Amino acid sequence: MVEKKKKRLSKVFDYLKHEDPFAKGVAFCAGCPLELLVRFIPQVLGNDIVITGTPSCSAPVLMGQNTGSWHKLSYYGTLMTGAAANATGLVRYYNRAGIDNTVICFNGDGTAADIGFGNLSGAAERNEPFIYICYDNEGYMNTGIQRSSTTPFGARTTTTQVGVNSRGKNLRRKNLAMIMAMHKIPYAATATMSNLEDLAQKLLKAKQIKEKGFCYLHVFCPCPTGWGVGPDMSIELCRKAVKTNYFPLWEALNGNFSFSKQVKKPKPVKEYTKLIKKFNHLSDQELDILQKDIDYEYSIIKAMTKLEKEIK
């Protein structure tokens, strides 16, 4: 068992070919998987990446604090309303200047799905050659855990409270990854930190494919502080999200959909929700609504993977 685990880990380490450009300690909450994500990306892709992003939980670490920097990469901070437009300008400048690098527009779900969605969609339609990564912690975490359009049905946030008049969010989540794939971009994919080899492969694919145009990665990224779980739970939640089909891993390469990992016998979603405080008020009936939404989203992806075979 231990040997098997070691072997699995060594495969992940094979992808870490570059220096970790971050300081040994950074300013995320304890156990926040964002730290693993931001350290992982440059170690896989190389340090010749330029990151641009918006106010969020990632910004203090990526932008630096006071006069200090937490890393050695180039980073441009931008407004939530114009992240993808900003990245477009950067890429065009680097192309004009003959500088060969990879621009990554790195944002939370609040920017990607809501406040900066218009220009994200515009950049995808124009097929701008950069990588857009949305890390999805299902809410506006940095400003106090408000709900976003990717917050799932039933979840407790500070703007969808649980009390006499409210039972958490009463709307279903937006499937942003699918919406982006429907822009017919060269590459769209989902990923998470329990499946690091898969994440590394998708990052490398995006780096290669972005020469042809827009690449979108949607990374499921639990927030221990905002969701009410211990700092040791993040990766377990990623794993459970995949095993229950709450967050299926798939990719769409030139419009051809495939599962990166198809779960043979998916567990009911309550195996995942029972671990998280933001769901602990849900009745069986409410869990059923959430389960139906998960099944609905999954059936769409499944149908898309079948379509791919028909096209071939």
Ligand X SMILES: Cc1ncc(C[n+]2csc(CCOP(=O)(O)OP(=O)(O)O)c2C)c(N)n1
- CA 84 centroid distance within chain: 16
The smaller minimum CB distance to ligand SF4, of residues 111 and 260, is found at 111
Contact partner, 294, from ligand X, ligand SF4, Mg ion, none, Cβ < 5-8 Å per class: none
For position 141 contacting ligand SF4 by CB under 6 A, the verdict is yes
Among all residues, whose Cβ is closest to ligand X?
108
- 284 sits in which H/E element: helix 284-311
Q: Among residues 69 and 201, whose Cβ is nearest to ligand SF4?
A: 69
SS3 225: helix
Block residue for tokens 């685990």: 5
Nearer to ligand X, 85 or 141 (CB): 141
Distance from C-alpha of 219 to C-alpha of 239, rounded to nearest angstrom: 13
The site partner of 49 among ligand SF4, ligand X, Mg ion, none (C-beta below 5 to 8 Å per kind) is: none
235 binds ligand SF4 (CB under 6 A): no
Among 36, 38, 57, 133, binds ligand X (CB under 6 A): 57
Binding of residue 223 to ligand SF4 (CB under 6 A): yes
Per rule CB under 6 A, is residue 234 in the interface with ligand X?
Answer: no
Instruction: Between 186 and 226, name the residue whose CB sits nearer to ligand SF4.
Output: 226
Rounded distance, CA 104 to CA 100, Å? 13
Shortest spacing between CB 96 and ligand SF4, in angstroms: 36
Separation of alpha carbons 180 and 189, rounded Å: 9
Chain positions 138 to 197 lying near Mg ion, rule: CB under 5 A, are: 141
Q: Which is nearer to ligand SF4, 146 or 225 (CB)?
A: 225
* Beta carbon nearer to ligand X, 73 or 141: 141
Residue ranges in 79-118 that form contacts with ligand X under rule CB under 6 A: 80-81, 107-111, 115
User: What CA–CA distance (Å, rounded) separates 245 from 231?
Assistant: 23
What's the rounded Cα separation, in Å, for the pair 89 and 104? 12
How is residue 115 written in tokens? Answer: 């406040």
Residue 81 and residue 76: Cα distance in Å, rounded? 14
| φ/ψ bin of 144: left (φ > 0), alpha (ψ from -120 to 50), beta (otherwise) | left
Segment lying near Mg ion (by CB under 5 A), choices 110-118, 159-167, 185-193, 198-206 = 110-118
Q: Which residues pair with 152 in a beta bridge?
A: none
Q: DSSP H helical segments within 173-283, as ranges?
A: 176-181, 196-209, 224-227, 234-243, 270-273
At 272, list the tokens.
């995942």
Beta carbon nearer to Mg ion, 137 or 234: 137
The residue (of 131 and 141) whose beta carbon lies closer to ligand X is 141
Answer for which of 143, 158, 166, 280 binds ligand X (CB under 6 A) is: 143
Do you know the residue count of the chain?
Answer: 312
Residue 71, beta-bridge partner list:
22
Cα angle, residue 300 at apex, residues 299 and 302 outer, rounded to 5°: 60
Q: Which residues contact 311 (CB under 8 A, 6 or more apart)?
A: 255, 256
Binding partner selected for residue 150 from ligand X, ligand SF4, Mg ion, none, CB under the kind-specific 5 to 8 Å limit: none
The reply to whether 191 sits near ligand SF4 by the rule CB under 6 A is no
Asked whether position 152 contacts ligand X by CB under 6 A, the answer is no
- Where do contacts with ligand X occur on this chain (CB under 6 A)? 55-58, 80-81, 107-111, 115, 137, 139-143, 148
- Where do contacts with Mg ion occur on this chain (CB under 5 A)? 108-110, 137, 141
- Where do contacts with ligand SF4 occur on this chain (CB under 6 A)? 28-29, 32, 34, 57, 137, 141-142, 223-226
